[in-house]
Amino acid sequence: MKVAAKVSIALLVLPVLAASAGRPPRHAAPQSPFGDVTLTATPAQYEGKCPVRIHFIGKVGIAVHPMAFNYHFERSDGARSQLKVVRVNNPNAQFWNVPEWWQLGTSGQHLQVWEKLLVASGNTRIESSQASVDITCK
């Protein structure tokens, strides 16, 4: 009985091994050139005289050296910033800051707006979460 069990296991395993023998070896997925990509807005909440100038700062994690990437910002009103290119040659760079400003609002308005950062290098494209801002103009 023990011999029969060993034979039946071998009959189950051998076809799987034979089927995988003709396949090329699997390779690990290529490493992303980016670490975390984040965006923050300052101030995130504003109440006062308008127009107000909101400062957005993107933080792009650098995982590969040297590298080049492009980026742009997209806003809740549909506008897009100009595409910019960054070259990172410093092997010690762990992140790269990218700034953006948006001036908006008139007296009496209440606005809820956002921006997001989109970065790309080669075939890798990543976008940040939206950085939201709540504005009450006096």
Per residue in 32-85, pLDDT tens?
899 999 999 999 999 999 999 999 999 999 999 999 999 999 999 999 999 999
What is the pTM assigned to this prediction? 0.76
Residue 30's pLDDT is what?
A: 56
At 46, list the tokens.
């504003």
Domain-located, residue 2: no
* Averaged pLDDT for residues 112-127: 97
Phi/psi of residue 44, nearest 5 degrees: -85, -20
Total tally of structural domains belonging to the chain: 1
Cα–chain center distance at 118: 7
Domain-located, residue 14: no
Element (H, E) at 8: helix 2-21
Residue 32's pLDDT is what?
A: 86
Please state, as a whole number, how many other Cβ atoms lie within 10 Å of the Cβ of residue 88: 18
Domain-located, residue 8: no
For the chain, give the mean pLDDT.
Answer: 86
Domain-located, residue 13: no
Q: What is the CATH number of the domain that holds 39?
A: 2.60.40.3880
**Could you write out the DSSP letters of every residue in 99-116?**
EEEEEE--TT-EEEEEEE
Residue 48, phi-psi category: left (phi > 0), alpha (psi -120 to 50), beta (remainder): left
Residue 93's pLDDT is what?
A: 93
27: confidence class by pLDDT, cuts 50, 70, 90 = very low
Domain-located, residue 108: yes
Print the domain residue range for 132: 34-137
pLDDT higher than threshold 50 for residue 109: yes
> What three-state secondary structure class fits 128?
coil
For residues 21 and 113, which has the higher predicted lDDT (pLDDT)? Answer: 113
CB 24 within 8 A of CB 107: no
Q: How far apart are CA 132 and CA 138, in angstroms?
A: 20
Residue 22's pLDDT is what?
A: 54
